Amino acid sequence: MLKSLLKSRSDKALGAELCAAIGTQARNPVFFTAFAVPDTIDGRFDMVAIHAWLVLERLRELGMKDVSQGVVDTLFSSFDESLRDLGVGDIGIGHRMKKMADAFYGRLTAYREAKDADGLKEAVIRNVYRGDTARASEAASLAGYIAAATAALGNCDMASGVVAFGDVSSFVRRSP
């Protein structure tokens, strides 16, 4: 029983550590400048969702279900706190959290179901750019970053909290 309790705390702590790495990478200014992700609550949510999906997929591959739950628990606790900081009261918080959960899991499903680079680009256009096909170039760059980050995470020691998504700036398309 004690071993189970200690393992649970360890998984929660690792989940919180991985969640912090997700948040740090999701706030990289390159996403909001060069990739033209809207610097809004929704845009920032989308960047968190993408990076959470990347980490959660890797944890799923490794069979680290308890750590995944720690990531999700920490993430949603952060969402709750952020909504309260924005003035959402106790009465409205449940409704808002349900909407966020639906949006979050919808995005995770869309990215997981993307079968190739084009599918991922389409999911990015639909979710990050809200269907704005004029952002196809940025979406392609972001999809390229996501694919590279997936590969980079495959080389990380997730069990020790080591997370390296890769250099996002290398996917910025330069004007000729």
Rounded mean pLDDT for each run of 10 residues along the chain, 176 residues in total: 53 94 96 96 96 98 95 94 87 89 96 93 98 96 95 93 90 62
Q: 8 lies in a domain?
A: no
Nearest alpha-carbon partner for 154 in 50, 69, 14, 57: 57
Q: 118 lies in a domain?
A: yes
Q: 117 lies in a domain?
A: yes
Token pair 């989308």 is found at 46
Token pair 């952060």 is found at 78
Q: 20 lies in a domain?
A: yes
Distance from C-alpha of 119 to C-alpha of 17, rounded to nearest angstrom: 30
Q: 3 lies in a domain?
A: no
At 54, list the tokens.
């990347």
Q: 70 lies in a domain?
A: yes
Which pLDDT score is estimated for 9? 55
Which pLDDT score is estimated for 2? 47
Q: 163 lies in a domain?
A: yes
Nearest alpha-carbon partner for 158 in 47, 4, 19, 6: 19
Q: 67 lies in a domain?
A: yes
Distance from C-alpha of 117 to C-alpha of 145, rounded to nearest angstrom: 11
In total, how many domains does the chain have?
1
- Say what the pTM is: 0.90
Domain of residue 142 covers 14-169
22 by DSSP, 3-state: which? helix
**Model confidence pLDDT, tens digit, residues 13-63:** 999 999 999 999 999 999 999 999 999 999 999 999 999 999 999 999 999
Q: Which helix (H) or strand (E) holds 152?
A: helix 136-153
Which pLDDT score is estimated for 5? 47
